Amino acid sequence: MMKEEWKKQGFIDEPVADDIDLKKEIRKMCGEKNAIVLAHYYTRGEIQEVADFIGDSLALAQKAADTDAKIIVMCGVHFMAETCKILSPDKLVLAPDLNAGCSLADSCKADDLKKYKEEHPGYKVVSYVNTTAAVKALTDVVVTSGNAKKIVDAFPKDEKIIFGPDYNLGSYINSVTGRDMLLWNGGCHVHERFSVAGIAKLKQEHPDAVVLAHPECKGPVLAAADVVGSTAVLLKYATEHPEKQYIVATEAGILHEMQRACPDTMFYPVPPEVSEGGAGCSCNECDYMKMNTLLKIYNALKYEWPSVEVDEDVAREAVKPIQRMLELSK
Ligand code: 13P
Ligand code: SF4
């Protein structure tokens, strides 16, 4: 029987004996229960190490669509687990902590998008994967930062498009496709903290370093970058050029895999901007991603909870633009 306080808090924090090797136990339960652990590059290093598969949002969605496992433990944020459940409705999809949300997904409520669509008849809706299932259900095609350009390019040149919710990604895609999509004014609280000044300071110290930036960063930061792309694109670039040095403007969790893949390469994470009075966050980490812990994964597998459910009617609509994305990104 699930304890009431666990249900209320959205995760299980039952302690384990000090001598338990959580990683070993997680792998053991995965084998016994035919479960797979998927993890995003922004999760803690130890989670990336225990996972069966790590990837960017696109690769995680592709993996969730392909796996034969009966249980998927999605270590990322809530919309990623929802995407898994929508693609694999018959599987048990576990999220180690149901509170792991996303500020970007929160910046677009389904009711607001519905109203905006009604005000703009004839527009197609292209939504970033960082959205709730209810927003996806109102969408024509989903994109990730890894395939947004390719998918937007696939629309006829004169197609009228609403792009949301990330303003910075939308504006970047407008610039590289020559489109004039209407942009939702949403953003990610982590990526919006990176500044040109932060990059310039690191560049002074490491003039030869290549600047890598995620397209959720603001326009001036992207203009100062040498390579703009999804976490997987940035990682691929570094892996293919390990002889270079890198200034990295994205969530710092990616450095774990970058450093693992390129052990002799220097990576310099861009610190976030701190406002004049010293206020503001002094961290370039996504608190939501860091809510995933080994103990929560262990307990989620042991108790097969918390599971992520998506309303059937919503899922029936939301699966269409996700499938469209998967088709178009082949
Ligand atoms: P990626 O698709 O690049 O992995 O990005 C996901 C995300 O949440 C970025 O903040
Ligand atoms: Fe959402 Fe930003 Fe965290 Fe990515 S880094 S999951 S966009 S809050």
- In-domain check, residue 145: yes
Give me the sheet containing 141-143, strands edge to edge: 141-143, 124-128, 161-164, 182-183
Does residue 275 belong to any structural domain of this protein? Answer: no
Domain count, the chain: 3
Among residues 187, 206, 229, the one where a domain terminates is 187
Structure tokens at 97: 């902590």
108: domain range? Answer: 104-187
Of 78, 64, 72, 71, which is closest to residue 10 (Cα–Cα)? Answer: 78
Is the CB of 75 within 6 Å of ligand 2?
A: no
Residue range 169-192, pLDDT digits in tens: 999 999 999 999 999 999 999 999
3-state secondary structure of 320: helix
**278 in any annotated domain:** no
pLDDT tens digits along 214-238: 999 999 999 999 999 999 999 999 9
Centroid of ligand 2 to alpha carbon of 253 (angstroms):
12
Query: Which atom number of ligand 2 is nearest to the Cα of residue 76?
Result: 6
Nearest to 146 by CA among 54, 57, 80: 57
Domain CATH number, residue 152: 3.40.50.10800
The verdict on residue 328 lying in a domain is no
Q: Which atom of ligand 2 is nearest to the CA of 40?
A: 6
Report d(CA 128, CA 142) in Å as an integer. Answer: 6
Q: Does 224 share its domain with 165?
A: no
Q: Return the residue whose CA atom lies nearest to atom 7 of ligand 2.
A: 188
To test the pocket of ligand 2, the residue of 83, 132, 167, 189 to mutate (highest count of ligand atoms within 8 Å of its CB) is 189
Among all chains, which residue has been given the structure tokens 């292209």? 126
Per-residue pLDDT band at 318 (split at 50, 70, 90) = very high
Does 147 lie in the same domain as 119? yes
Q: What does pLDDT average to over the chain?
A: 95
Chain length of the chain:
330
Q: Are residues 14 and 85 in the same domain?
A: yes
Residue 276 lies in a domain: no
> Does 220 sit behind a cis peptide bond, omega within 30 degrees of 0 on the bond before it?
no
208 in the same domain as 182: no
Atom of ligand 2 nearest to the CA of 102: 1
Percentage of the chain exceeding pLDDT 90: 93
**pLDDT at res. 279:** 45
Same domain membership, residue 35 and residue 110: no
Same domain for 176 and 260?
no
247 class by beta-carbon count within 10 Å (0-12 exposed, 13-18 middle, 19+ buried): buried
> Does pLDDT of 57 surpass 60?
yes
- Indicate if the pLDDT at residue 276 is higher than 70: no
The reply to whether ligand 1 has any atom less than 6 angstroms from the CB of 168 is no
Question: Domain check: are 130 and 148 in the same one?
Answer: yes
| Helix or strand run (H / E) with residue 119 | helix 110-119
Tell me the mean pLDDT in the region 196-203: 96
Residue 231 CB less than 6 A away from ligand 1: yes
Q: Distances in Å between the alpha carbon of 288 and those of 9, 104, 299, 327?
A: 14, 11, 18, 29
Residue 279 belongs to some domain of the structure: no
Determine if residue 31 is left, alpha or beta; phi over 0 gives left, psi from -120 to 50 gives alpha, anything else beta. alpha
CB 96 within 8 A of CB 81: no
Q: Is 144 in the pocket of ligand 1 (CB under 6 A)?
A: yes
The per-residue pLDDT for range 5-14, each reduced to its tens digit, is: 999 999 999 9
One domain, residues 14 and 76: yes
pTM of the model: 0.95
Return d(Cα 172, Cα 217) in angstroms, integer.
Answer: 10
- The helix, strand and coil proportions of the chain, stated in percent and rounded to the nearest 5, come to 45, 15, 40
pLDDT at 274: 60
DSSP string, 166-226: BHHHHHHHHHHHT---EE--B--TTGGG--HHHHHHHHHH-TTPEEEE-TTS-HHHHHT-S
Using the predicted structure, report yes or no on whether residue 303 has a pLDDT greater than 70.
yes
Same domain membership, residue 197 and residue 181:
no
> Mean pLDDT over residues 288-307, rounded?
98
Residue 52 lies in a domain: yes
Using the mean position of ligand 1's atoms as its centre, give its distance from the Cα of residue 21 in Å. 30
188: Cβ below 6 Å to ligand 1? yes
Query: Is pLDDT of 2 > 90?
Result: no
Q: Decide: helix, strand or coil at residue 148.
A: helix
